Chain A
């Protein structure tokens, strides 16, 4: 484990190594959720009550934080995967690999931050309503 964590911090660590490590970790995380997700969706027809119970967990504060992490893994894996496809299918793009890497992080932040906000905001709906009320806006 130390050896693999060390990869992140040693002098050999470059954009490509970090990209590869994150791609692997996010891929395994999405796969783990996929197994859970097929199980829960199976319950829709088989045991709707149990499915609704799982859904209540997904909508809970802990569930929403986990959804933000899942969304981040999905978005990173998708963007970095597209970068890999571009370089593999058009090898001349390899000279721009650092630009592609930085661009993927810009898109990650631009799409990811509002996405995370939309998922987490329902947890603060009550406080937001009372804040607006106090300010006399609503």
Chain B
């Protein structure tokens, strides 16, 4: 029986430890995000409705419990890293000049750091006295 090579995921890389780490990270974080991201979307679109999710709702209700702040921070970290590695794969697929890759990936990694820093600040300090 014939199986399209694209039915499988990207072939597991050999040699580079970084590439093997990323290959496993994409799959493990993907399974975690299957639960975390779909739960996040379901809670905030099916159980609650965006028309009710004001800043007061987030600070007074959702983020009044440490559990949800930690949960949201975990989701933030995993989704930012998972999507960064995903976009990195796309960049490497379409950009072939070494110069273009270095510039584009540098911009991508700067954006990644900004998202992690800004998101962590928001989830850790929003609503705290003096914040």
Q: Which residues of A contact B (CB under 8 A)?
A: 14-17, 19-20, 24, 27-28, 30-31, 34-35, 38-39, 41-46, 48-49, 51-52, 55, 58-59, 63-64, 67, 70-71, 74-75, 78, 81-82, 84-85, 87-89, 91, 94-95, 97, 101, 115, 118-119, 122
Contact = CB atoms under 8 A, between A and B. Distances in A.
Interface in B107-131: 111, 115, 118-119, 121-123, 125-128, 131
Given A45-B126, A81-B34, A85-B27, A34 B4 contact: no
Nearest to A68: B45
Contacts of A46: 122, 126
Contact of A71 (B45, B53, B118): B45
A31 B27 contact: no
Contact of B50 (A67, A81, A89, A115): A67
Interface of B: 1, 3-9, 12, 27, 30-31, 33-34, 37-38, 41-42, 45-46, 49-51, 53-56, 58-59, 76, 79-80, 83, 86-87, 90, 111, 115, 118-119, 121-123, 125-128, 131
7 contacts: A27-B86, A34-B79, A41-B58, A48-B56, A88-B8, A95-B3, A101-B7
The residue in B46, B122, B123, B125 that gathers the most chain A C-beta atoms within 10 A of its C-beta is B122
Contacts of B34: 78, 81-82
B111 A94 contact: no
